[in-house]
Amino acid sequence: MNTLKINYKSIYYPPGGILMWIIIFLELITFGMALLAFVYYGKEQPELFHQSRLQLNTTFGVINTIFLLTSGFFMANSVLEFKNNNRLKSSLYFKLTMLGGLLFLILKSVEYYHKMESGITPETNVFFAFYWLLTAFHLIHVIMGLVILIWTNYGMTKKNSDTGIDDIEACAAFWHMCDLIWLLLFPVLYLIF
């Protein structure tokens, strides 16, 4: 008699653990609600939003998108190498992931600096209130992601490490959430209005 064997662990414990996925869904809901509010106000004041969007540096946004997507690629490779029991190569991909995140932070800081130099603050108008709120909240997530990556990479590379695949997958899930949120923010803020 053939029996269907179900791997309940994969159903109840997704990669990175159920708690990480609860956090990810809550974050996506939070950003989603903020983006919906942004779109609502954009429909109310289309000319203001259009003129404000033209003051954003789309090139910076595109480059930052490339930085995050590339770092996401390296993060996926890190998980793969860890599963293949190659901690050294996994650590290298972790470092490349962190480099992408660091480059994102640097370029976003340059963009913020230019905005502040031009007198563009959250008080400028509704568009920029949303711009600062959404991008700064995302930036905090990238910083948190980098701290998690640094901590996990340190744990993974020390002797007698107890870092497991669940830890690596939790890092990857959080980092890919940062990628996904940016992929939602970038077109809405920089391209649509």
Q: Residue 95 belongs to a domain with what CATH number?
A: 1.20.120.80
pTM > 0.85: yes or no: yes
Q: Give me the chain's average pLDDT, please.
A: 91
Instruction: Select from 9, 19, 168, 14 the least CA-distant residue to 83.
Output: 168
- Contacts of residue 174, defined as CB under 8 A and 6 or more positions apart, other chains included, come to 16, 20, 23, 24, 144, 145, 148
What's the pLDDT at 11?
53
Residue 146 lies in a domain: yes
Interaxial angle between packed helices 126-157 and 165-186, expressed in degrees from 0 to 180 and rounded to the nearest 10: 160
Domain assignment present for 21: no
Check whether 16 has a pLDDT greater than 90. no
- The whole domain housing 59 covers 27-192
Residue 16 lies in a domain: no
pLDDT at 13 over 80: no
Residue with the two structure tokens 């996904």 = 180
Domain count, the chain: 1
Identify whether 20 is part of a domain. Answer: no
In a domain, 88, yes or no: yes
Q: Is residue 18 part of a domain?
A: no
HEC profile of 131-182: HHHHHHHHHHHHHHHHHHHHHHHHHHHCCCCCCCHHHHHHHHHHHHHHHHHH
pLDDT at 69 over 60: yes
In a domain, 14, yes or no: no
Answer whether residue 4 shows pLDDT above 80.
no
SS3 readout for the chain: CCCCCCCHHHHHCCCCCHHHHHHHHHHHHHHHHHHHHHHHHHHHCHHHHHHHHCCCCHHHHHHHHHHHHHHHHHHHHHHHHHHCCCHHHHHHHHHHHHHHHHHHHHHHHHHHHHHHHCCCCCCCCHHHHHHHHHHHHHHHHHHHHHHHHHHHHHHHHCCCCCCCHHHHHHHHHHHHHHHHHHHHHHHHHHHHC
What pLDDT band is residue 10 in, cutting at 50, 70 and 90? Answer: low
Residue at 161 is within a domain: yes
d(CA 136, CA 37): 17
